[in-house]
Structure 1
Amino acid sequence: MNSRQNFDSLLQKLKEKLLTLSELVEQSLHNSVESLRTLDGELAEEVIAGDNKIDDLEIEIDEDAVRLIATQQPVARDLRKIISAIKIASDLERVADLSVNIAKVTIRLQGQKLVKPLIDIPKMAENAQKMLRVGIDSYIKEDIALAKQLKDMDDTIDHMYKSILNELIELMVQDSQIVNQGQQLGFAARYIERIADHITNIGESVIYLVSGKRHELND
């Protein structure tokens, strides 16, 4: 195997680890919101415990990328591929951290009954999962047009967040006894809104990878 083939092989392994990380992160997000929807404390604890595996993989990707830069001295697009992998892994790890925060909301609400069935927050999370799949797909395909779709998807989640917050405020005004629960659910919605922001960062990394130019998807 010549040096170029060896480099391409190592780059492919880095990409595969990043895709594994994205799968773990998506599952963490799904489980955290499901734990909240059903107030399942055990599932929430699984999300929290599973974060160590995600952290370890993100560190491994970072170390592999740094090693590639040090030993292969890549330039131009090759270097951008490695830098983008580092940035995407970092944003994925932050999505996982925010999913843990949602799971912690579930833990804090143990023993309570939800003031109403959760519908909008899970829908918001479903949209975030779709965003994540689009972001990772744009990375796999190195597709700028696909990456740019994340902006409109993020705007949708922002609107959903504002609507959820307004409804929670109305409920808390009507019944002061649910203020704590309303605040906690507001935090959960805010975490999902921040997750969407990190996913748009992934799109920005893809655009940089392909074009070498910085393009803001977050207003």
Structure 2
Amino acid sequence: MAIRANFDTELKELKDLLLKMGKLAEDALNKSIIALKEQNTDLALEVIDKDYKINQLEEEINDKGILMIAKQSPVASDLRRIIVALKISNDVERIADYAVNIAKSTIRVGDKPFIKPLVDIPEMARLTQGMLSSSLQAYYKEDITLATDLAEIDDQVDKMYGKTVQELLILMSKNPDSIGQITQLAFVCRYLERTADHCTNISEHIIYLIKGKRYDLND
């Protein structure tokens, strides 16, 4: 019983570390979008400078998970919990990288007025930020319904991505002097679209955790 209690404690610690990492990634994504909208290079630099904390947490989660497998030889359901934590931490780390990329694009855009008002990108960001928050809640609560519902939002993000990039390409042909800025804004759209994909990955990991079967929510 003591061994089991100790293992349960370690599982909780692993989950808590992952949720801490997720909150930092949420904060990085939120700040990167605010930095872009406000053309705030100082805030963009803050996102870049703090990324190391998320990378350190991913390493800590990986080390802890591998050590738990080596020491405890966990049964199937417990092994799934560890594996899922490792997989989700990788997705969260990639999301944080996209937040850094958005921050870098913000710095490259600088303070030059936007070629058009930012409307679609903040809306894409709102949907994507909601997906990240919901995916972390679904993991914490092990809520399969919440996890499954995210696929529908991912479809919305994909549609907005296609529409927005198409509009940016048209603007590029008409405004050759602004190609640099338009290119960076197109990159931001791509980073948000990929972030939404990683949120969907997290949802798939949660479904695997609960059901023991793999599902592709993008089908």
- TM-score, normalized by length of structure 2? 0.97
What is the match of residue 52 of structure 1? 52
- Overall identity of the aligned pairs, in %: 48
Deviation, structure 1 residue 76? 1.0
What is the match of residue 94 of structure 2? 94
Contact persistence 1:120–1:164 (CA under 8 A): yes
What is the match of residue 77 of structure 2? 77
What is the match of residue 158 of structure 1? 158
Deviation, structure 1 residue 163? 1.4
Give the letter for the 2:211 counterpart: S
C-alpha distance in structure 1 between counterparts of 2:34 and 2:118, whole Å: 10
What is the match of residue 188 of structure 1? 188
Aligned residue pair count: 219
Over aligned residue pairs, what C-alpha RMSD do you find? 1.1
Contact persistence 1:37–1:117 (CA under 8 A): no
C-alpha distance in structure 2 between counterparts of 1:111 and 1:146, whole Å: 39
C-alpha distance in structure 1 between counterparts of 2:17 and 2:111, whole Å: 39
C-alpha distance in structure 2 between counterparts of 1:121 and 1:34, whole Å: 11
C-alpha distance in structure 2 between counterparts of 1:76 and 1:146, whole Å: 24
C-alpha distance in structure 1 between counterparts of 2:39 and 2:203, whole Å: 33
Provide, for residues 38-68 of structure 1, a one-character-per-residue CA deviation record: whole Å limited to 9, x for no partner: 1111011000001000000111011111111
Give the letter for the 2:151 counterpart: K
Q: Does 1:210 align with 2:210?
A: yes
Gaps of 5+ in 2: none
What is the match of residue 29 of structure 1? 29
What is the match of residue 115 of structure 1? 115
* SS state at 1:213 partner: coil
* SS state at 2:50 partner: helix
Structure 1 residue runs of 4 or more that deviate by more than 4 Å after TM superposition:
none
Give the letter for the 1:124 counterpart: M
Contact persistence 1:51–1:96 (CA under 8 A): yes
* SS state at 1:133 partner: helix
Deviation, structure 1 residue 181? 1.1
Gaps of 5+ in 1: none
Give the letter for the 2:178 counterpart: I
